[in-house]
Amino acid sequence: LGVSRREFLLGTAGAGAAFLGGGLIARQANAANFTLPITSLDHTLLPETVTRNMMGFGAGGPPPVLRMKQGKPFVVDVINNLKEPTSVHWHGLRLSNAMDGVPYLTQMPIEAGETFRYTITAPDAGTFWYHPHCNTLEQMARGMTGILVVEDQEDPGFDQDIPLNIRDFRLGGDGQFIDFYKPRLAARGGTLGTVSTVNWKTDETHDLPAGSLVRLRLAVTDVTRVGTYDLTGFDTGKGAAQLIALDSNPLPAPQAPENILLAPGQRADIALRVPDTEGQEVLLTLQTAKGPRLLAKFRSVGTSLNRDLKELRPLTPNPVPEADLANAEVLEFVFGWSPGGDAPKPSFCGTLGYTFWSINRVAWEGDSPDPVDPLAVMKQGKSYILRLRNETQNDHPIHLHGLSFRLLRSNKRELPPLVTDTALLQSKETMDVALVADNPGNWAFHCHVIEHQKTGLTGYLRVE
Ligand code: C2O
Ligand code: CU
Ligand code: CU
Give the domains, in start order, of the chain with CATH numbers.
5-151 (2.60.40.420), 160-311 (2.60.40.420), 325-463 (2.60.40.420)
133 in contact with ligand 1, CB cutoff 6 A: yes
The structure's pTM equals: 0.93
Q: Measured from the CA of 92, which atom of ligand 1 is nearest?
A: 1
Q: How confident is the model at residue 365 (pLDDT cuts 50, 70, 90)?
A: confident
Answer whether residue 4 shows pLDDT above 90.
Answer: no
> Which pLDDT band holds residue 367 (cuts at 50, 70, 90)?
low
Q: How far is the CA of 250 from the centre of ligand 2 (A)?
A: 19
Per-residue pLDDT at 206 exceeds 80: yes
Residue 341 predicted with pLDDT over 70: no
Q: What is the 3-state secondary structure (H, E, C) of 432-449?
A: EEEEECCCCEEEEEEECC
What average pLDDT score do residues 86-99 get?
98
The DSSP line for 84-131 is S-B-EEEET----GGGS--BTTTB--B-TT-EEEEEE--SS-EEEEEE
Average of per-residue pLDDT across 151-161: 95
Nearest ligand, measured from the Cα of 446: 1
pLDDT tens figures, 236-295: 876 699 999 999 999 999 999 999 999 999 999 999 999 999 999 999 999 999 999 999
Strand-pairing partners, residue 91, are: 129
Task: Decide whether any atom of ligand 1 lies within 6 Å of the 399 Cβ.
Answer: yes
Helix, coil or strand: residue 20: helix
| CA–centroid distance, residue 397 to ligand 3 (Å) | 6
Q: Which atom of ligand 1 is nearest to the CA of 422?
A: 1
**Residues 6+ away with beta carbon under 8 Å from 424:** 226, 261, 263, 266, 395, 396, 397, 398
Measured by CA distance, the residue closest to atom 2 of ligand 1 is 444
- Please give the distance, rounded to the nearest whole angstrom, from the Cα atom of residue 117 to the centre of ligand 2: 18
ipTM of predicted complex: 0.99
Nearest CA residue ID for atom 3, ligand 1: 91
Reduced to 3 DSSP states, what percent helix, strand and coil does the chain have, rounded to the nearest 5?
10, 40, 50
The CA 372 to ligand 2 mean position distance, Å, reads 19
AA letter at 433: V
What digits encode the pLDDT tens for the residues 419-451? 999 999 999 999 999 999 999 999 999 999 999
Which atom belonging to ligand 1 lies closest to the Cα atom of 102?
2
Nearest ligand by distance to the CA of 136: 1
Side chain identity, residue 35: T
Q: How far is the CA of 360 from the centre of ligand 3 (A)?
A: 14
265 lines ligand 1 (CB under 6 A): yes
- Distance (angstroms) between ligand 2 centre and the Cα of 149 equals 15
Model confidence band, residue 371 (pLDDT cutoffs 50, 70, 90): confident
